Chain A
Amino acid sequence: MNARRIAFAAVAAGLLAVATPALAQGAVADKWRWLTFLVFGAIIGTTMFVTYLAAKRVKSAADFYTAGGGVSGLQNGWAIAGDYLSAASFLGIAGLISIWGYDGFMYSVGWLVAYITVLLVIAEPCRNIGKYTLADILAYRNNPRATRIVGAISVITVSTFYLTAQMVGGGVLVKTLIGIDYEISVIVVGVLMLGYVLFGGMVATTWVQIIKAVLLVTASIVLVIMVWSQYGFFGDFLNNVIADPKVQARVAQILGDGAKNMTPTELGTRFLEPGLLFKAPIDQISLGMALVFGTAGLPHILMRFFTVPTAKAARISVIWAMAIIGGFYVLTLFLGMGSAMKVGADQIRAIDPGGNMAAPLLAQALGGGADSLLGNFMLAFVAAVAFATIVAVVAGLVLAAASAMAHDLWVGVIRSEHVTPQEQVKAARIATVIVGAMAIAIGIAAKGQNVAHLVALAFAVAASANFPCVLLTLYWKRCNTGGIVLGMIVGTLTAIGLVLVSPNMTYPLAVRAAQEKVVAAETAKLATLSTQLAAAADAAAQDKAKAAIARSEKAKGAAEAQIKALGDSRTSLVGLEKPLFELRNPGLISIPLGFLAVILGSLFYRDKRALDMWDELYVRQNTGILASKAAAH
């Protein structure tokens, strides 16, 4: 244990040494960088100290995977919130609201409603039946070897998609905020996360998630109170949104020609009404299905229910998580709209087109702007929370993937459960290193790729494969090995397959056509601008025309560069010229198919064990008798 703790200290020191010289320009000015490092250092230092303490408590595989089942309901509720409020939902939703108004807020609702499914039909039975992993639940009454293999593959697939999105998003975020090189950012996130998981297992991961969730909620409450003190509470706040010139200009920009006959108040009011962002309702419904059923199949969320001692504690933890996550999204409404007024959509989009910088920029503006100490302190704090968010979510994901690899595949399938407790812990740590190294490698390899849809894909696979299998093995007597194997395969393959032929992929012909249009438009614009420049009467008009020409040339150059980057390619990754399938999210098709596959697979397969074990499983999932008890500490 001592050697391990020394190794941990060495890793921590090495990280600082690597990170310090690799600085470039970020959202934080050079002058204030010391402040950013101070806040980052304080937060990382706290989590490292917790890991150091936790390392003493991690002795068995149960400690490593589930913190020995010794986490309380309240603690687990905060940890679930910490695991779930990834950078995508924390920064992304505030950004969507600041740029698109009502539609962004509507988007957040599905992320909370998802927990009703978790609360009602998943959390307690899983606590009563499972031990460490999702596949434990599947293996209970089905053929353990077969279901562990398909379960583990699905868990690793879902976690890898999610992990890739987090690593790439994290690298970009850290680079945008403090200007550390992308590759270094990815390595720092990866190594820090490995430090937590490897040395502190689930105990440290849980505490990192709790600390991060508390910081996130605190930061949001402080920001929202500051927003309210400037723009008023609910009714006054919304009146201010409607009357805000930046908001009105943004709506006019979105509506284009449609905004010609609208008064400024009408434009402002439109920001609070649906339809600015989402044009295809069927896509929204499909994404909603993936969220509402997919959350209950996310391995890193399911795993959290094995860390509490009883089903009742699992229930309490979901209720706390719902209170925290829901309250957070309500606050996000004010953060997003506050940012739309205080910072403005143009400035937010100038730094990041997806809007991810809305909350950090709001913090800086509320504190007094880019030149003030308080403004930069608040920016640094929000940035550090965002960083902690990524590390905490990645830690949970790596633990889930590593447990599937070590517990299900190695211990369960390869060694047929014949392993000593020491070997189990060792396997868990080796798997963690493998998954962690993989995460870093994928993060670096996927640099510059658009990975935003990978989170949605993770939810879609979880909803189409994991959720039907877990739900039906727990509640349907006839469900058996045949159904689980077929359901996992069909659910995973259709979800991924439909995305591969969907509009999410890059279609060179469509991109080229769109960019050629931009080039043509900008060329025409340049022609009119140059006649304007020639006709300009005074210096002010000349400067204005020159600036417009520069903007236009930049846009033209960017479009030409994109066309050039496409080269001669005509087809997407899977050889298509245009999407075969118009839905961006496959849930609407792949979730029913997943269920159908489990049902048909079960009906066409005979499995006496699954039927014989039904009474035992059903009594146990409802009563909690003989559920693995918390290890004594």
Chain B
Amino acid sequence: MAETARVDWQAIAADPRFQELHRKKSGFLWGLMIFSVLYYFLLPIGAAYFQQLFSIKVWGPVNVGLLFALSEFVVAWGIAFVYSRRANTVFDPMAADIVKDIEKRYGVKK
């Protein structure tokens, strides 16, 4: 905690680069979060109120309900993939840039 007192956190928070990171990240994260929660709850709602639809056979023995449940897995993995790619290519470099600056300015040892 001793080291943190020397850092002017307010100045960093106000830094346009940090503001940019904050803006990009929060929009992206909360968007994905809301989408994933809504998509998940379609499954129990569909299974309860749209049983006719879920029972329609699509391909041989495979019905809509099974495909939809399997799609939940694909969507979950898809979200993980999309998020990690965005974090690796956009958020991490932006954060690293700010961190490098702070460490230079305050002589914080890594």
Contact = CB atoms under 8 A, between A and B. Distances in A.
B76 A238 contact: no
Contacts of B41: 285, 288
B62 interface: yes
Given A281-B45, A284-B48, A272 B33 contact: no
Contact of A626 (B49, B73, B108): B108
B13 A619 contact: yes
A15 interface: no
A318 B81 CA distance: 11
A109 B43 contact: yes
Contacts of A288: 40-41, 44
Interface in A451-481: none
Given A116-B80, A318-B80, A330-B73, A622 B47 contact: no
A256 to B, nearest CB: 18
A273 B54 contact: yes
Nearest to A275: B51
A113 B72 contact: yes
Contact of A315 (B3, B29, B51, B87): B87
B44 to A, nearest CB: 4
B90 interface: no
Nearest to B96: A623
Contacts of B36: 113, 116-117, 120
| Chain A contact patch, size range | 35 or more
Interface string A275-304: 100100100110010001000000000000
Interface string B73-100: 1001101110110011000100100110
A623 B65 CA distance: 42
Given A106-B69, A615-B10, A625-B102, A273 B87 contact: no
Given A274-B54, A619-B18, A285 B45 contact: yes
Contacts of B79: 116, 119-120
Given A116-B36, A284-B44, A292-B37, A322 B61 contact: no
A273 B60 contact: no
A245 interface: no
B55 A273 contact: yes
B89 to A, nearest CB: 12
Contact of B76 (A116, A616, A626): A116
A109 B69 contact: yes
A619 B10 CA distance: 9
A109 B44 CA distance: 10
A138 to B, nearest CB: 16
A171 interface: no
A323 B70 CA distance: 14
A572 interface: no
A242 B61 CA distance: 8
Contacts of B7: 616, 626
Contact of A326 (B22, B76, B103): B76
Contacts of A121: 29, 33
Interface in B9-32: 9-10, 12-13, 18, 21-22, 25, 29, 32
Ranked 8 nearest A-B pairs via Cβ: A281-B48, A274-B47, A238-B61, A616-B9, A615-B13, A284-B44, A615-B9, A113-B40
22 contacts: A102-B66, A105-B66, A109-B43, A109-B69, A112-B76, A113-B40, A116-B76, A117-B33, A117-B37, A273-B54, A273-B55, A274-B65, A281-B44, A284-B47, A292-B37, A318-B80, A618-B22, A619-B12, A619-B18, A623-B18, A624-B95, A626-B7
Interface of B: 3-4, 7, 9-10, 12-13, 18, 21-22, 25, 29, 32-33, 36-37, 40-41, 43-45, 47-49, 51, 54-55, 59-63, 65-66, 69-70, 72-73, 76-77, 79-81, 83-84, 87-88, 92, 95, 98-99, 102-103, 108, 110
Given A238-B61, A626-B7, 14 more contacts: A113-B76, A116-B76, A235-B61, A269-B61, A273-B54, A273-B63, A281-B49, A312-B87, A318-B80, A319-B81, A615-B9, A622-B21, A625-B99, A626-B108
